[in-house]
């Protein structure tokens, strides 16, 4: 076959197609989705000469392996990992030429969680509501990669400047999330607000693309009962009945009934995407009552 596409040899634990998402549809119940680490997705695209919103692959922890049917230029960024082409080591964080039929392998993340694989021309699956992103909550967009699947690639545009390398921040050893008071902060005691911004938490292994779950002290409510469902935003810190905060990420539901005690600054969410289970976590920002 000589068509511009690649075959999936090893899909990995969870590898999805992501671009910058489909914002603006929350009123229809459609999450934003998109890359959990948008700055890294943009950087990977820049390395291969793509526009910043081209679709890439987002891997989770153990990478993936694909075989292109035509020669392609590829860049791997995000969590540091091994990269090989036809069994030979290739650079991470730089453009690499992959011959037709050669096996491109993205290895297990050495630190961090998610790698981003950009192909010149982008992954050209059919867009849904203006985006090629997989949305694990609603099921919109392409399904997660599966062994044997074949995904199309677009034609390189040639109008964007490719670069040789770009600096990328290391995954966090401690995750610090800046927050503002949420719309339901009054549902929590003054002691709970103090706890949120002064006590240590850790990233839970139950975290996913929908939300970053935490382990640590529970937050005490000042109100009983539950709210009617109301709108939720990216970065909302929702508190379920167990009292442990959950930070909403790209595939979060657009409505929810648990109270939102705080909202994380969007600029801090990329680091949350790379925080491994067990990573120390602190919420900082507003002043709470002692």
- Would you say 79 and 274 are in contact if contact means Cβ atoms under 8 Å apart? yes
Three-state secondary-structure class, residue 198: helix
Query: Hey, how many other C-beta atoms are within 10 angstroms of the C-beta on 189?
Result: 15
Asked if residue 9 and residue 138 are part of one domain, the reply reads yes
Which of 96, 120, 152 is the endpoint of a domain? Answer: 152
pLDDT at 1 over 50: no
Asked if residue 148 and residue 17 are part of one domain, the reply reads yes
Which of 96, 118, 152 is the endpoint of a domain? Answer: 152
pLDDT at 10 over 80: yes
Domain range for 189 is 175-285
148-180: pLDDT as tens digits: 999 999 999 766 667 777 777 778 889 999 999
Asked if residue 179 and residue 274 are part of one domain, the reply reads yes
Asked if residue 132 and residue 94 are part of one domain, the reply reads yes
Domain count, the chain: 2
Q: Span 222-237, mean pLDDT?
A: 90
Asked if residue 121 and residue 18 are part of one domain, the reply reads yes
Counting Cβ atoms within 10 Å, is residue 228 exposed (0-12), middle (13-18) or buried (19+)? exposed
Contacts of 202-207 with CB under 8 Å at 24 or more apart are 202/277, 202/278, 202/279, 202/280, 202/281, 203/175, 203/275, 203/276, 203/277, 203/278, 203/279, 203/281, 204/244, 204/277, 205/277, 205/278, 207/277
The per-residue pLDDT for 160 is: 66
198-212: pLDDT as tens digits: 999 999 999 999 999
Q: Report if pTM > 0.85.
A: yes
Asked if residue 183 and residue 110 are part of one domain, the reply reads no
């Amino acid at each position: 076959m000589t068509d511009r596409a690649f075959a999936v040899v090893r899909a990995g634990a969870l590898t999805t197609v992501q671009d910058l998402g489909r914002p603006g549809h929350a009123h229809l119940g459609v999450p934003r989705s998109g890359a959990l680490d948008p700055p890294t997705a943009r950087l990977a695209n820049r390395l291969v000469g793509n526009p910043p919103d081209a679709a890439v692959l987002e891997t989770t922890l153990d990478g993936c392996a694909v075989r292109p049917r035509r020669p392609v230029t590829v860049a791997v960024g995000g969590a540091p990992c091994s990269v090989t082409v036809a069994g030979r080591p290739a650079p991470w964080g730089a453009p690499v030429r992959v011959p037709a039929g050669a096996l491109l392998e993205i290895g297990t993340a050495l630190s961090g969680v998610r790698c981003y694989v950009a192909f010149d021309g982008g992954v050209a699956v059919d867009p849904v509501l203006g985006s090629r992103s997989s949305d694990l909550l609603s099921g919109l967009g392409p399904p997660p990669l599966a062994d044997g699947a074949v995904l199309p690639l677009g034609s390189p545009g040639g109008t964007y400047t490719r670069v040789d390398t770009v600096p990328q921040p290391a995954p966090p050893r401690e995750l610090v999330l800046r927050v503002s008071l949420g719309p339901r902060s009054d549902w929590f005691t003054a002691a709970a607000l103090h706890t949120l911004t002064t006590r240590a938490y850790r990233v839970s292994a139950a975290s996913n693309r929908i939300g970053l779950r935490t382990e640590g002290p529970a937050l005490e409510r000042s109100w009983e009962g539950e709210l009617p469902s109301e709108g939720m935003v990216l970065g909302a810190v929702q508190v379920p009945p167990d009292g442990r905060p959950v930070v909403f990420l790209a595939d979060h539901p657009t409505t929810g009934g648990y109270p939102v005690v705080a909202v994380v600054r969007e600029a801090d969410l990329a680091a949350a995407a790379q925080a491994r289970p067990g990573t120390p976590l602190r919420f900082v920002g507003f002043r709470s009552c002692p």
